[in-house]
Amino acid sequence: VDDCSRFLSDPPIRDKRLLEFSLGWTTLFGVRAQMAELLRVFVITWDPLELDDARPRAFGTANSDELCVYVPFWSLEGLAERRGTDVAEVLGWLGGCAVVTAAEYQQDVIAGRHARLVASGEVPDLLAGALEDESSEAVLGRPAKIAVEGGGWDEIGLGAITDIVQQAYGPVAFDRSLVGLAMPPTPRQGCPACEGRRFNFPADLNEQAVYMCGPHQKEVQKVTRERMVRAGQSNRPGWNAITGASIRREEPMLPFGLASKIRAQIGKPGPELLRLLAQAHEQFSGQPEEFYAAIGEKSVRPGRPPRWMQTLVHDLASAGLIEEALAAAETLADFEPLWSGHWYDDSLAALATVVTTGAIEEDRVRFQVQFVRDLCPGSPSVQMHAGDVYHALDEPESALAAYENARSLAVAQRDFEVRRAVASRITALTGSGNEASAQQVIRVQRRVQPRKRRR
Ligand SMILES: [Zn+2]
């Protein structure tokens, strides 16, 4: 247990790592004891399938000679908290569930068909018994022994990725056995394959290929291609998941499973999404593109945030979350300064709609308007929305000045949209005009008096 807290108190959260534990119970005998021998429990700092929807809190899968349980460390902490226990108890609870479940389907496990039967829904997932009820009792109780294996945190490799994919998509027939290449009639000096070496697949084989003679390089390509084709044919979604995760393994990551958490909140603009974004942005200060890649936003052009981020200030305001909209403008602008004008502009447009409701104090409204105008003095849209705010504050002169300013900027910048929009506002304010502006005037008259200033 000492080991446990020593290694888990300071996990390498910015790297893709795993920490293996061995668990032991003293009271086991028979099949359960046999299955407990096969158990390997890993705490991970990165979920290779973090971009998938609705990820479970932990993943367990059976190979014929191993029961593998993977627990993201952020879920480990959360589970310990909700169960009112510690991480050792949680590992024992999950590991014990895997052992007991595997013991029930011992024949399938030993025959190496358990994972396939789980995928087709014929037998329960190794951890279903525990995860379906997070407060369920640990079937084997607290482990008598819990120790770190292998000296500490190690890199997440293809083995872990394959297991985790297997839990989600079923087995992929990816042959990773040692590769021995044919011996040519005339071996070439220095070629590792001509020297009769055998290679781990795929990493070792492909690293060594550059030192090989021409015929052996060709053979490496052939073996690699054949094995990949066979894997893809055996389980296309599973294979795609393995290759996708292997690519993401080389890319920057977000700690604490933030990628999954943020993706789950996209389309639900609110305080939780903002909190997660602020936390995530810390890791990618000055590197927005890396952040977009880390949360799995593909086809985002440089300097262009994903659509849901572009509209976030507006969406928060539309949902009535004006404080959050103002906070979002600030957070987002810090993160992607190129777009700060856009978000601050949206914050002004939002303010204009709530001034009369008293949802925001007048002092703050004035501060925000001044701040944004100073920040974007050349933006016709910002000047127009500033005018809207003054209009709502019942200050027609300031409103008109801002509108006039907006109009000349719009003319100079050939911004026809703002030019048209601001023209109808001016008409409404100055009382001359068409039907649309008449309605604007009515709106102005109906408006309630701004609240008195607080003392
Ligand atoms: Zn050779």
pLDDT tens across 87-136, in order?
999 999 999 999 999 999 999 999 999 999 999 999 999 999 999 999 99
How far does the centroid of ligand 1 lie from the alpha carbon of residue 178, in Å?
A: 17
Greatest Cα pair distance, the chain, in angstroms, is 98
Predicted TM-score (pTM) of this structure: 0.84
- Considering only 112-121, 153-162, 208-217, 439-448, which range has the smallest mean pLDDT? 439-448
- Per-residue pLDDT at 267: 86
- Per-residue pLDDT at 438: 45
Query: Between β-strands 198-199 and 145-148, what pairing exists: parallel, antiparallel or unpaired?
Result: unpaired
Distance CA 244, CA 451 (A): 56
pLDDT mean over 427-450: 54
- Per-residue pLDDT at 303: 79
pLDDT mean over 166-192: 93
Q: What percent of the chain has pLDDT over 90?
A: 77
How far does the centroid of ligand 1 lie from the alpha carbon of residue 157, in Å?
A: 28
How far does the centroid of ligand 1 lie from the alpha carbon of residue 198, in Å?
A: 12
How far does the centroid of ligand 1 lie from the alpha carbon of residue 201, in Å?
A: 17
- Per-residue pLDDT at 289: 87
How far does the centroid of ligand 1 lie from the alpha carbon of residue 232, in Å?
A: 28
Q: Higher model confidence: residue 22 or residue 441?
A: 22
pLDDT in tens, 229-288: 999 999 999 999 999 999 999 998 999 999 999 999 998 999 999 999 988 888 887 788
Burial of 360: CB neighbours in 10 Å, binned 0-12, 13-18, 19+: middle
How far does the centroid of ligand 1 lie from the alpha carbon of residue 210, in Å?
A: 11
**In the predicted structure, residue 444 carries a pLDDT above the cut 60:** no
- Per-residue pLDDT at 210: 95
How far does the centroid of ligand 1 lie from the alpha carbon of residue 229, in Å?
A: 24
**In the predicted structure, residue 446 carries a pLDDT above the cut 50:** no
How far does the centroid of ligand 1 lie from the alpha carbon of residue 213, in Å?
A: 4
pLDDT mean over 333-358: 91
Q: Higher model confidence: residue 315 or residue 7?
A: 315
Q: Are 47 and 244 in contact (CB under 8 A)?
A: no
How far does the centroid of ligand 1 lie from the alpha carbon of residue 219, in Å?
A: 9
